[in-house]
Amino acid sequence: MLDTVSFFFNRAADHLGLDDRLRTILLTPKRSVRVEIVTESDDGEFHHHLGYRVQHNSARGPMKGGLRYHPSMDEDHASSLASLMTWKTAVVDIPYGGAKGGINCDPSKLSEAELYRITTTFVGLIKEVIGPTIDIPAPDVNTNAQVMGWIMDEYSKYYGFSPGVVTGKPVDLFGSLGRDEATGRGVMYVLQECLHESQRKLADVTIAIQGFGNVGSHAARLIAAQGGKIVAVSDVSGGIANDEGIDIPALLTWVKEEGVVQGFPGAVAIEGHEVLTYKAEVLIPAAMEEAITAANANNVQASIIVEAANGPLTAQAHDILVDKGVTVIPDILANAGGVTVSYFEWTQNIQQFKWEESRVVEELDKVMRKAYRAVAELARQDQLDMRTAAFVIAIKRVARASASRRSIAHLLPPSVLD
Ligand code: NAD
């Protein structure tokens, strides 16, 4: 995936005419930390895991990005996702840089007490390089509000009360109202803006969604409430479809009780992968990386793809689809609602002030729609696909901030300054 992020970065850098020295400065992580986490298991044995935190760029502010607990977590993965965060925070213009990290563990095989010990030991090992003005972790795959609460508590033991060290905390522990659904809400806003360009509304289109976790289920719920007709949904258990529109509130109740979409009585069963190529005008991949590759891109029937997941399209798949005339709203724009409300949580924490949920929703609406319009306008003006346009905007912001801090202004071409 690192190759994919760098590939798209370089395409935008070519458009801007950046020289190699500036590319190296903007692509190289500022700091990469690897720590050994040794903890005691419940049966008295020892657990050994590796923890990572890659801090990509801090030109525009403290670094920001999730913590992922997964057996496949490694430095390369953290580096690519950290780089993606730098460009994402810049596209939506929130005052952060990018970071990412995690632990190579499988939480499904650990008790809560074991997970707690691993998390707090990790905090002890990286505490000097994180903090409310340095690097602010957040939940990602297999981490949640509870894990963020443990991190805040452990960090505060060393440095005093520090709610701003992590975001995505429980609402009872200085978390923000509206954070849980923020990414799905942002996905809906960018889709509304995109449809608006052809004088359409959510109620005018059919939609397929891959993934029914945090992002997919909230996006489905909010879109359905606006009249959007969701005709196919999948999760790890498989897919379901109903051309008359799936009853999303009923599906949410089903998933709450059964855990998976499979078996939902209001739809027919299909293979999970069929959701990606289902006959629907809009496709929202909201599950995992590289779901659409050169192998299945030509079978995609949607004319709009909203990348709710990080990196759901390979570079080849992206180009096949764009060449076919498909509008791809890229991840660094489409799923930025989560980090945007994380920013709102952090501002509430450092101001010791709590926002009403209506204010969170209103501010998120403004940020997402403004970012979408800027990307769409540049894409039209410079005849770029939306991903390249989003990277161009992000690179310009990060390069200008870097030049204002360091003596590298002579490396910036006029295209970055206008
Ligand atoms: P999650 O763990 O809550 O949900 C993931 C969903 O994907 C689950 O429904 C799971 O069953 C499904 N899934 C897994 N493998 C699948 C497969 N092969 N086919 C179909 N479905 C499959 O995760 P999430 O928080 O919803 O994150 C989803 C994606 O969005 C990830 O790429 C994540 O990095 C990205 N993202 C999340 C946030 C956030 O705020 N949660 C923010 C930005 C980006």
| Residue from 100, 169, 229, 396 carrying the catalytic annotation | 100
Q: 286 alpha carbon to ligand 1 midpoint, in Å?
A: 5
Give the contacts of 121 (CB within 8 A, at least 6 positions apart).
37, 38, 39
Show me where the domains of the chain are located.
28-173, 182-334
Structure tokens at 61: 């502010």
Is 217 touching ligand 1 by the criterion CB < 6 Å? no
Structure tokens at 10: 């370089």
| pLDDT at res. 268 | 98
* Residue 131: DSSP 8-state: B
**Residue 27, amino acid:** L
* pLDDT tens-digit series, residues 280-310: 999 999 998 899 999 999 999 999 999 999 9
The closest-lying atom of ligand 1 relative to the alpha carbon of residue 311 is 32
CATH number of 182-334: 3.40.50.720
* pLDDT tens-digit series, residues 307-324: 999 999 999 999 999 999
| pLDDT at res. 261 | 97
* pLDDT tens-digit series, residues 31-77: 999 999 999 999 999 999 999 999 999 999 999 999 999 999 999 99
User: 50 φ, ψ to 5°?
Assistant: -110, 135
Rounded (10°) CA dihedral 267, 188, 341, 127: 60
Give Cα 396 to chain centroid, integer Å. Answer: 21
Is-contact 410 22, C-beta < 8 A? no
Is 309 touching ligand 1 by the criterion CB < 6 Å? yes
CB atoms within 10 A of CB 249: 12
Mean pLDDT of 177-205: 97
- Locate the DSSP E strands across 13-139: 31-40, 46-57, 63-69, 97-103, 135-139
Is 335 touching ligand 1 by the criterion CB < 6 Å? yes
28-173: CATH topology: Rossmann fold (3.40.50)
Is 51 touching ligand 1 by the criterion CB < 6 Å? no
Is 310 touching ligand 1 by the criterion CB < 6 Å? yes
Task: Tell me if 28-173 shares its fold with 182-334.
Answer: yes
Question: Average per-residue pLDDT in the chain?
Answer: 96
Could you tell me whether strands 63-69 and 135-139 are parallel, antiparallel, or unpaired per DSSP bridges?
A: parallel
Q: Could you tell me which of 395, 328, 334, 329 has the C-alpha nearest to residue 368?
A: 334
DSSP string of 272-336, one letter each residue:
GGGGGGSS-SEEEE-S-TT-B-TTTGGG---SEEE--SSS-B-HHHHHHHHHTT-EEE-HHHHTT
Percent residues over pLDDT 90 in the chain: 94
Identify the three-state secondary structure at position 140: coil
Which of 87, 235, 237 is the best mutation target for the ligand 1 pocket, counting ligand atoms within 8 Å of the beta carbon and taking the most? 235
Is 232 touching ligand 1 by the criterion CB < 6 Å? no
Q: 140 alpha carbon to ligand 1 midpoint, in Å?
A: 9
Q: Could you tell me which of 26, 83, 76 has the C-alpha nearest to residue 52?
A: 76
* pLDDT tens-digit series, residues 80-89: 999 999 999 9
CB atoms within 10 A of CB 250: 13
Known catalytic residue at 354:
no
Which of 144, 215, 218, 261 is the best mutation target for the ligand 1 pocket, counting ligand atoms within 8 Å of the beta carbon and taking the most? 215
